[in-house]
Amino acid sequence: MFSVKGKVSVVTGSGRGIGRAVALALGAEGSKLVINAKKGVQEVNETERELKEIGAESISVLADVGTREGCRNLIQKAMERFGSVDVLINNAGLGIYREFLELDDQIIDKVLRTSLNSAIYCSHEATKVMNEGVIINMSSIAGILPFKGLSIYSVAKEGMLALTKAMARELAPRIRVNAVAPGVVRTKMGDSLISLLGVDEETFAKKYTLLGRVVTPEDVAQAVLFLVKMPTITGQTIVVDSGQLLVGS
């Protein structure tokens, strides 16, 4: 098994939600963390505080990973502080609900930059300095079965799945690349999607999942941790959705 103890993990979009849960799961295993948000100082400070409570060493880097410059800065800061990058979690993402004919160029560009370009740029910068390592891309079941009102987000998340396979082929055996595709998760974005349906969480879980429960950030974090540690899996995607994809198919 690949051990993250003493290794350096970079987690984009880790000020809250899934990113924070992933950072804490890695920190609990002894990894050193580089956490990131675009502007959320208070959020990354809270993530750092929680990491400190479990004895994990960390730094926070405010950077827009939807840009090449932001990703380059993030990886440079990691190298300056810790001297290596061993694990990259491409978690940053943005979903803006708009029906297709209501989209404008600003929304299209913003969603693609945050939810797809960030993974391309950060992976490109990280693989330049990685000796051996692991990359995990945070996709979504929206990349497998597109959601109404989330067309561009769905395009980005399906792109993440293709990117995962392409990088896995090109970077092996030095770097393993896998993806996790969550369903609706108990986060700010997930809660907003449930609200759009006009139901509460309990009703949503009963109607739209097989297991009758909404996925938590911690559920997703455990799937990420499994893929990071398993040395014989690459180019694959794990769906974590309580059976939501099957209900919707």
Contacts of 231 by beta carbon, 8 Å cutoff, 6+ apart: 1, 2, 176
* pTM metric for this prediction: 0.96
- CATH of residue 100's domain is 3.40.50.720
119-149 confidence digits (pLDDT tens): 999 999 999 999 999 999 999 999 999 989 9
Task: Write down the pLDDT at residue 189.
Answer: 82
Among 137, 96, 142, 134, smallest CA distance to 118 is for 137
The 10s digit of each residue's pLDDT in 27-60 is 999 999 999 999 989 999 999 999 999 999 999 9
Q: Please state the rounded mean pLDDT for residues 178-197.
A: 90
pLDDT at 249: 57
Is the pLDDT reported for residue 66 higher than 90? yes
Please report whether residue 68 resides in a domain.
Answer: yes
Task: Give the residue numbers marked as catalytic.
Answer: 153
What is the domain count for the chain?
Answer: 1
**What gap in Å lies between CA 148 and CA 113, rounded to an integer?**
20
Range of the domain at 155: 8-185+217-248
- Average pLDDT (61-82) is 98
